[in-house]
Every structure is written in C-alpha cells, then in structure tokens.
Amino acid sequence: MLDAVIRIVAEVGADAVTHRRVAQVADLPLASTTYWFESKEHLLTAALERAADSDIERLHAFIQDAPAVVADPVALAVDAILDPLDESGQAARGSLLATYALLLEAARRPALRAVTRRWTDAYLDALGRLLAQAGSSDPPSDAALLLAAADGLLVENLASGEDAELRGTLRRLGAALVKA
C-alpha cells in the first residue's frame, strides 16, 4: 500500500493521494486502505517513514560495506548520496521525485517534519564522519553544505530533465570544503 502512495506521489504529486487512488494502484479493496490509514495525512506520513527508513538503511549499509580505512572519504560521501541514482533510470527518477515531493509536503504538514529531520540527520551524521576522516575542520557544517548542494543539484536535474555530471561537481565541492 505504501509503495502505491510513493508511486502516486512520484507520478502526479501528493495532492493526488486519496484512499480510493491508493487502493486502485495497489489493486486492493478501498476498505483495506481506510482500515489501516484513517486519513491522507496518515498515508503520506507512513509513506515518508517507509521511504526514509529504506534510504537510511541503504545509507548505513553503503557506509558499512566500505573498507575501514577509506582512500578517498570525500568520494565515498558523494557516492553515499548519489548511490540511489545507480538504479535503472526511471526507477531512480521516480524515487527521487517522490522523495522531494514528500520532503516539500513536510513544509505544509507538520506531522511529516520529524521524519524528514531524522532522515536528514542520518545523512549529516554519515557525511560528517566521512568528511572528518578527510580532514574537515568543521564536519557538521561541511556535511550540511555538501548535502544541500546535492539536493539542489538533484532537484535541478529532475526539473530540467538533463543529466548533469553530479559526482564530479560534488567531489570538487567536498574537496574544497575539507581544504578550507
């Protein structure tokens, strides 16, 4: 059911999420969506929690799979952010569209903010540790700058439909941050 919510958000936006539409996309009876989720807010919150939990788990696994001593912590930090793009093109695009649409919904729906904060904090913690290994003098601030730049570039890519060279750009930014 929650995958159906994420698919709807990716395809047409959060405003299109209704119990009826979720049931239709999930190929379930309407009663099943209303039984488990009392409101649209509940559906969106649960979908955001699912997306966040899944991505945080992926992030931790990605970092854990790296060698104990990383030759290029900045490159690993950038790869940790952009790893989901290595999925098939349309799947990665849909996932990113849903992610950013749900993050924007948090600006309108306070119930979503705790989840977005937890999600962001997981990235800031992981990136901060990697940037500290790279020699950053201010890992928390550098992690926030790198993540903000990545988010901005990813949104620009989605909006323009063009694939820019994000890895190189973000690696240059990360290298500049740790030298400063």
Give Dmax (Cα) for the chain. 57
Ranges of residues in the chain whose predicted pLDDT is under 70: 87-91
Quote the pLDDT of residue 112.
86
- First-to-last C-alpha distance (Å) of the chain: 47
Quote the pLDDT of residue 88.
59
Distance, in Å, from the CA atom of 74 to the CA atom of 81, rounded to the nearest integer, reads 11
| Distant-in-sequence contacts of 131-137, Cβ < 8 A, 24+ apart | 131/73, 131/74, 131/77, 131/174, 131/177, 131/178, 133/70, 133/73, 134/72, 134/73, 134/74, 134/77, 134/174, 134/178, 135/178, 136/177, 136/178, 137/180
Overall pTM > 0.85: yes
